[in-house]
Amino acid sequence: MTKGAYLPDETDIAILDALQEEVPLVCRPWDVVAEKVGITSEELLIRMEQLRDAGILRGISPTLESRRWGLPSATLVALKVPPGRVEEVAALVSSYPEVSHNFLRDHPFPLWFTLSGRDEGHVRALLSDILERAGLSEEDALDLPTEKKIKVDVRFRFRAGMHGEGAGGPL
């Protein structure tokens, strides 16, 4: 299926909404999600595959609280990277397991990522290693340490407005 060629229907929208809620930690979680949506687990899995193939659903994974599993220190970093090296430096940054997001932006510092560590010293050491391996200087980095986590959760509501008719998004 070509990405973008699949137009989600009301059932797909219900699936997308349900998947953004807590997926239960039970032996057969898809049975529970399917029941919530009002379809069989077989249909749920088929539709999830169609949504994945269309590029709408990238995957399903847990949201981990890094502070609770030993990485309480974090920072948002922006790097000034020459245009011809953005892909190379982005790949280097993404190779670090302590990096949770990595984005290209239209900005004088085009590469933005989050970096987490055991403590502030660990985060600084990781950032120094990234800069050294990328051949960048400290002046090429905006280092914006987290002072207080305010909101991490994001959920897109599609049922309120289908096809651009509300805060639900572009569907």
Greatest extent of the chain over all pairs of C-alpha atoms, in Å:
56
Bridge partners (DSSP) listed for residue 77: 113, 143
Q: Which of 101, 107, 122, 163 is catalytic?
A: 101
Supply the DSSP symbol for 81: -
Q: How open is the CA angle 32-35-39, to the nearest 5 degrees?
A: 130
Strand arrangement, sheet containing 111-117: 99-104, 111-117, 73-79, 141-145
Sign for the CA dihedral angle at 64, 67, 72, 73 comes to: positive
User: How many Cβ atoms are within 10 Å of 48's Cβ, its own excluded?
Assistant: 19
- The SS3 of residue 18 is helix
* Residue 101 known to be catalytic: yes
Single-letter residue type at 86? V
- Catalytic residue numbers? 101
